[in-house]
Amino acid sequence: MLYLYISLGGALGALGRFLLSTWIYNKSQHIFPYGTFIVNILGCFLLGFFYIITLDKSLISPQVRMMVSVGFLGAFTTFSTFSLETLNIIKEHNYNVALLNIGLSVLLGLLAVWLGAVLANFFSQIKERGDKVGENYREGS
């Protein structure tokens, strides 16, 4: 059953990547591969957020966790397309654009995972405080 969950997530992630990156490419019409770049950075942010939010294993089943992280986000992001696009930019002798793509993708990808994790931790702390306030309110009634 796990394979079915991962496959479903993968199909949805690949479709989401195709639709979003195609829409971005059509809007940008630029040598820099904005579609893949934005999809990958967004995927990094979402994975960082999702990972922290689902650390409490009781919140979500292992199957759904794998469906989202391995299936959806694994198919949504793409290292192979990033590599091919960068190679094509190099072949066109646009070395500065290629280096910019490599540098920004790696640095902003790491930053996005970190920001996703920080935001998830922030929301978790708010929820914990809210739960404590609710418990105190019920005890005082």
Query: Per-residue confidence at 137, pLDDT binned at 50, 70, 90?
Result: low
pLDDT exceeds 60 at position 133: no
Predicted pLDDT at 124 = 85
- What pLDDT sits at residue 128? 73
| Contacts of the segment 63-68: beta carbons below 8 A, 24+ positions apart | 63/1, 63/2, 63/5, 64/5, 66/2, 66/5, 66/6, 66/9, 67/5, 67/6, 67/8, 67/9, 68/9
Segments making up each domain of the chain, as ranges: 2-124
Which tokens hold the place of 8? 């479903």
- Predicted confidence at residue 22, as pLDDT, reads 95
Helix axes 34-53, 79-91, angle to 10 degrees: 150
| Higher per-residue confidence, 132 vs 70 | 70
Residue 104 has pLDDT above 60, yes or no: yes
Q: Which residue has the higher pLDDT, 140 or 87?
A: 87
Q: Which amino acid is at 135?
A: E
pLDDT in tens, 25-82: 999 988 899 999 999 999 999 999 999 999 877 788 999 999 999 999 999 999 999 9
Tell me, what's the pLDDT at 127? 74
pLDDT, residue 129, reads 75
The 10s digit of each residue's pLDDT in 80-103 is 999 999 999 999 999 999 999 999
For the whole model, what pTM was predicted? 0.86
Could you tell me if 41 and 112 are in contact, meaning their C-beta atoms sit under 8 angstroms apart? yes
